[in-house]
Structure 1
Amino acid sequence: MNHFQNHSFLKEIDFTPQELEYLIDFAGHLKGLKQQHIPHPYLQGKNIALLFEKTSTRTRSAFTVAAIDLGAHPEFLGKNDIQFGKKESTADTAQVLGRMFDGIEYRGFAQETVETLAKYSGVPVWNGLTDEWHPTQMIADFLTLKEQFGHLKGLTLAYFGDGRSNMGNSLIVTAAMLGVNFHLGAPKSLWPAQAVIDIAQQYADQNGSELVLTQDAKFAAKNADAVYTDVWISMGEDVDPAERIQKLKPYQINAELVAATGKADTIIMHCLPAYHDHQTTVGQQLGEQFSMDALEITDDVFTSPNSVVFTEAENRMHAIKAIMAATLGDLFIPDSLFA
């Protein structure tokens, strides 16, 4: 029996901690097959709709390559290609796509949109990112941690920056589910909503995770096995850049903050894109405006030997492949794994 068969992955708590662990390990297994050039066409003959309301590098690339590796055909539908609620409701669109495609990926703004697609399409739907959650990123991130340390339980992950973003929400909940200690270093106004903290705390109590939310960046860094950050202003977010940057400057991941972990082997993580230099239009514009060489992470840390950001980016593909194969493929997954 496949616990995953025909299930959507809309947010982390759609699955149990054991099921998340299975997806992480299965992603690692598929990564090994890919490296050894062993075919794994679990989705032979399937058709996948890729709905993108927001632009994307990693999510789009990962879903496309993963689908093709699995033997499926991915079809990209951008914000100008289909209606997205303008002339046709999301529910009607879902019913049409569900009759033509075997699975649907959605990346956009409202969590409600991806939930509606799952409710009405009748096929597995995968959340490639919404304003609230980023579940496919979590499988990649915790796969990266497991590859580095050989285990997850008992590790400490420290996240700095905007804690009430999709990344802040997803990381605190997933860490708590997997027995990973989670430290958030952020101004109080940018902590996750209380409802999210409550979900995380419930899982933390069950799985032995310690959750620390603090405005003291150095305190948050203490004993961290991994330090993690994301851009300070999310895509499409309407905020005053000056105000946000002033607020988050003390939480920049730099050499001093990494040293505050007290560990020599702390890894550096970032879900990308990163403003670690002036090689991007936005990075240059904001950097010059606020006299900063880098924003959320300094270039020396981003490019240091302890940085795993590009392995983490690659792991998006293996993670997404595992999610699609488990929920849409005809896999034999023994029940004993979830006993």
Structure 2
Amino acid sequence: MVIKVVKNLVSQEKYSLKCPNPMVPEYITIHNTANDASAKNEISYMKNNTSSTSYHFAVDDIQVIQGLPLNRNAWHTGDGKDGPGNRKSIGVEICYSKSGGAKYYAAEKLAIKFVAQLLKERGWGIDRVRKHQDWSGKYCPHRILDEGRWDEVKAAIADELSKIGGKSSASSGSGTTYTVKKGDTLSAIAKEHRVSVANLQSWNNIKDPNKITVGQKLKLKGSSTSSTKPSSKKTSYPLPSGVIKVTSPMTKGTNVRQVQNALAALYFYPDKGAKNNGIDGVYGPKTANAVKRFQSVNGLTADGVYGPKTKAKIESLLK
């Protein structure tokens, strides 16, 4: 049975605030709301407030309501004005997430069916589904994450997709290559496929990460005969010892730049709109926030302070 979508679209007068950019979607991002409102109230609030925060659909236990056209972007993933989450993904909010209970689980069940329907309509597979956390590190969808059920939810979407005759995956071949599309950046491709920019450069002999071309095929895995990469990767991002925080005397210089470069390799930095991608050797609020997001995602105390535990975790992920 096709799920009917009720449209209650934002007015074109508010496009500049809520959905200013044309979009050809490539992903679906799942969120949990921070309250217990219905889909009708969620969309009404999103449309009429003065915040830029926006999303395409809200799903409750009864219905799916659309608030933005699918050919416009939404500000819902926190990965910046040019981030692939904000610029290339359809935002789906699951209602009644704050308190949970029967209404929430009914809403989640309907959302699973609806996301599968969206995937089938576009000929996509489950590989196109993301959680908010994947884009910016924010702990969302919070209820699903709290209950440790993200893999279960994805499996349920995949199962529903199979039942309605959709593709198991939109990817072709072995998944070891990627063809560059218009608007792609190396950092976005690296983030999507869970590899580092440094490895993509090495595997594809790319000297300048800003110079990739539409149609170019990129290797997403290194040669199995290469045994030097793990150790060289770590030495490519030397990390300082000691503690660095916004009020620290070490808030400027090479030590900070080393931290910023390492965070960039793990997708928590940089700012693509800034000079040199925002890697400036200054441990200000932006860098502290990147550290905080890294800590939050990796089970550390999210205080924005670079110290021995954060250093050790970064190094373990860069091996």
Whether TM-score is above 0.5 comes out as: no
With normalisation by structure 1, the TM-score equals: 0.29
* TM-score normalised by structure 2 residue count: 0.30
Higher fraction of helix: 1
Larger Rg: 2
